[in-house]
Amino acid sequence: MSKVKVLFVCLGNICRSPLAEGVFKKKVEEKGLADRFVIDSCGTSNYHIGEQPDRRTIKNALVNGVRLNHQGRQFAVQDFNDYDYIVAMDASNRRDIEYLRPVDCIKKVWLMRNFDNSGLNKDVPDPYYGGENGFQEVFDIIDESADGLLTFLIEENRF
C-alpha cells in the first residue's frame, strides 16, 4: 500500500511549516494512521537550511503537547515528484512554489487554511516578528486546519 505524502511549506521553515508538520503528525498518530503517511516540511527561502525551528515555535508546540523534530530545508522542484499534497501557509509561499512547478506537473498546491472553517484563500500569519501571542494564534489556526486536512485526506484516499 502506498503512503500519502504531505509537504507543508512556509517562508523560512522555522515557524509555521514545522509546526504544521508536528501538529499533523500528532493527529495522524492519534488516528492510528502513522503507517499510511509521510509528512515533512520545508521553506521557500534558503534562510534557515539545517536550523532547528524557532525557539518560540518549539516552546509553543510543547505547551500544546506537540514535539518538533525538524531541520530546515528549502523547497526543491523534486518535491513535486516526491509529495502527493503540497500545502502552503500563505499566498506568497504558494506563488513561489507555483513558479517552480514543471510544465507537465498537474499536482495542486493547497493553502493550509483551505481546510479550516474560515473560508478559502486566507493566510496563516507569520508569527516571526510578533510576540508570544502570535505563536498561539498560529498554533490554533494550524490545529483547526490540520483537522480539516486530515478529514479531507481520509476521504480522498478512502482510509
**Residue-wise pLDDT tens digits, 119-137:** 667 999 999 998 888 999 9
Whole domain around residue 153: which residue ranges?
4-157
Active site annotation includes 101: no
Q: Are 92 and 124 in contact (CB under 8 A)?
A: no
Instruction: Indicate left, alpha or beta for 38 from its phi (over 0: left) and psi (-120 to 50: alpha).
Output: beta
∠37-149-33 over CA atoms, to 5°? Answer: 30
- What pLDDT shows up at residue 119? 66
Residue ranges, the chain, pLDDT below 70? 119-120
Active site annotation includes 16: yes
Q: Nearest CA to 124 among 113, 135, 132? A: 113
pTM of this structure: 0.96
How many domains, the chain? 1
- What pLDDT shows up at residue 130? 84
The single residue of 40, 79, 90, 126 carrying the catalytic annotation is: 126
SS3 6: strand
- What pLDDT shows up at residue 75? 98
The single residue of 16, 94, 113, 143 carrying the catalytic annotation is: 16
- Kindly report the number of other CB atoms within 10 A of residue 87's CB atom: 29
What's 84's domain CATH number? 3.40.50.2300
